[in-house]
Chain A
């Protein structure tokens, strides 16, 4: 690996594991007999952020805001339209497919759907162990079996389950298999793409605790995607909020709950259910729907639904600005 990667240029170890700069992903919309491009879905539109080593960055936003696309573009599971991603000092966009394949063990994914993300024709042994053998990390045979057994034990499954097939497990158990697979190659980064959204509430916290334990043991960095703030509240060190392809606010976890600055973040926080029926609370309910990413509004993307909108918002696009203590917000009121 070293020879190939030196050409790309390895930078001094920085406190940031991942640096995303100006990431853009537009999907072409084709129509007609000749599949002409008639428009672009601006799924991710100029997003920049960093993930520090060993932390958990939560990324939240409603369906279709581009958070999953962002995650996939960072890992180059889909090719970004523009932008730069530094992973451990290496510019991922400059790697050819072979170099990228060799980087893959260091950056793994846990998927949302515990039913769709495991190959139904493979045993747990094959699912968890395949990458280890393929990348030559562990030799096939006894050593591989022992490593897989160890991984299953780490995620709370019995090594006895090794020869079983995914359809013999419950949703929570399947998600544990997915976690074992992501963990197998000892990655530096694991992208958790809504890992608990498809699970029962009772199992959600088990999986979240497991993820936290694993982070404490192995120092792995998480990019944790969720559509509600309440899920990322406990697990994240920092939280980024996305709206219509833009990152609109980033702050430390406690800070963003205590003092959300962007009106959209404020609305999201007011939507977190409070388990106390007697407590009165102010719900900030947004009007209207999210505009189409095919044709986002000019100026601030949020102005069509913003309760504190001014005329300037319709024309000027706000950029992320640091307002102190690492709290960044993209809103004209703070610039």
Chain B
């Protein structure tokens, strides 16, 4: 009984997370990726303070102003990255575009992962006809042409950020469900899950406390790697004229707008392109590093 009082401080163990963090820190590209990811998040969150101008303020006399030329609409009096076809500050639009792209990507991740994890773990854990029914639904969802769906709801509901989020989420969760279902089916057979069953815990407790925490590693990696996918997806739709509607800025619709002026003002299209590439690359580098860090067995 008095075993604990002798030394009341019990040393805490190293969690697997702490181990993974140490491995991640040693991976240089992943750290660079992480720094950029954090930078983009920071810029998106504090856009109001960081952007030198409003993304929609125009100055038609300063159309296609070169980088560094004087400006009437920015706080510091120059177009640091130049101006677009309406004389709007490109840097400000990129900064606000980061907010739009990240909001879309993150909200879509949250929605699809919550639905996907719930559905997938139920299918994987219970198996049998439940799994059969869910799997058939997933197959239908995955076979559905989502671009077609999006064009459809765009005509019905108009084009705004919530509609885009709906478009990406409506089918996106099917992939996660599949992924989680597989992980759960595998972990369900593990001896520690059997031990949990032998102790008489409820199914919900076994799924939430014993199985899902062990799926977290692969899930985090897949989330980090799918965020750039959504960002690129939006850019792709924007380039077809189906993305975030002007005048609201997104990296995709900026590139779309710049297309007509590529000869007159090449920088107009290059800057949002660079922002897109760097962000996507950063997420991918970080995600790859995370995978190695969370599951060292995968490393050759």
The answer to whether A and B come from one shared complex is: yes
| Interface set of A (CB-CB < 8 Å, partner B) | 75, 77, 100-105, 107-109, 111-113, 116-124, 130-131, 134-135, 145-146, 149-150, 153, 159-160, 162-165, 167-168, 178, 181, 185
Complex Cα distance, B286 from A194, in Å, reads 43
Check if B21 is an interface residue, CB within 8 A of chain A. no
Given contacts A77-B197, A117-B194, A181-B199, 8 further A-B contacts (CB under 8 A): A108-B199, A111-B195, A117-B191, A121-B214, A123-B13, A131-B199, A149-B3, A162-B10
A120 in contact with B4 given A105-B200, A131-B199, A160-B10 (CB within 8 Å): no
Whether B200 pairs with A102 at a CB distance below 8 angstroms is: yes
Chain B residue at minimal CB-CB distance from A165: B13
Inter-chain residue pair count (beta carbon < 8 A): 94
Check if B264 is an interface residue, CB within 8 A of chain A. no
The interface residues of chain B lying within 8 Å CB-to-CB of A103 are: 200
Chain A residue at minimal CB-CB distance from B203: A97
Complex Cα distance, B192 from A167, in Å, reads 14
Partner of A146, one of B3, B210, B213: B3
The interface residues of chain A lying within 8 Å CB-to-CB of B201 are: 101, 130-131, 134
Whether A159 pairs with B10 at a CB distance below 8 angstroms is: yes
Whether A119 pairs with B13 at a CB distance below 8 angstroms is: no
Chain A residue at minimal CB-CB distance from B216: A121
Minimum CB–CB distance from A154 to chain B (whole Å) comes to 10
Chain A residue at minimal CB-CB distance from B193: A119
Whether B12 pairs with A163 at a CB distance below 8 angstroms is: yes
A146 in contact with B4 given A121-B213, A131-B200 (CB within 8 Å): yes
Contact residues of B between 200 and 234, Cβ < 8 Å to A: 200-202, 205, 209-210, 213-214
Of B13, B196, B200, B202, chain A has the most CB atoms within 10 Å of the CB of B200
Interface range on chain B: under 10, 10 to 19, 20 to 34, or 35 or more? 20 to 34
User: Can you report 7 A-B residue pairs in the complex whose CB atoms are below 8 A from each other?
Assistant: A109-B194, A116-B190, A119-B210, A120-B16, A131-B200, A134-B201, A163-B11
Complex Cα distance, B197 from A100, in Å, reads 11
Check if B156 is an interface residue, CB within 8 A of chain A. no
A165 in contact with B14 given A117-B191, A117-B195, A153-B3 (CB within 8 Å): yes
Whether A150 pairs with B3 at a CB distance below 8 angstroms is: yes
Complex Cα distance, B193 from A77, in Å, reads 11
Contact residues of B between 83 and 102, Cβ < 8 Å to A: none
The interface residues of chain A lying within 8 Å CB-to-CB of B13 are: 123-124, 163-165, 168
Minimum CB–CB distance from A113 to chain B (whole Å) comes to 6
Whether B198 pairs with A75 at a CB distance below 8 angstroms is: yes
Minimum CB–CB distance from A60 to chain B (whole Å) comes to 21
Whether B11 pairs with A160 at a CB distance below 8 angstroms is: yes
Minimum CB–CB distance from B6 to chain A (whole Å) comes to 9
Complex Cα distance, B202 from A131, in Å, reads 11
Whether B10 pairs with A116 at a CB distance below 8 angstroms is: no
Check if B1 is an interface residue, CB within 8 A of chain A. yes
Whether B10 pairs with A163 at a CB distance below 8 angstroms is: yes
Whether A134 pairs with B3 at a CB distance below 8 angstroms is: no
Partner of A150, one of B1, B16, B196: B1
Contact residues of B between 171 and 194, Cβ < 8 Å to A: 190-192, 194
The interface residues of chain B lying within 8 Å CB-to-CB of A116 are: 190-192
Whether A117 pairs with B197 at a CB distance below 8 angstroms is: no
Chain A residue at minimal CB-CB distance from B2: A146
Of B1, B13, B16, B202, chain A has the most CB atoms within 10 Å of the CB of B13
Chain A residue at minimal CB-CB distance from B19: A167
The interface residues of chain A lying within 8 Å CB-to-CB of B194 are: 77, 109, 111, 117
Whether B200 pairs with A104 at a CB distance below 8 angstroms is: yes
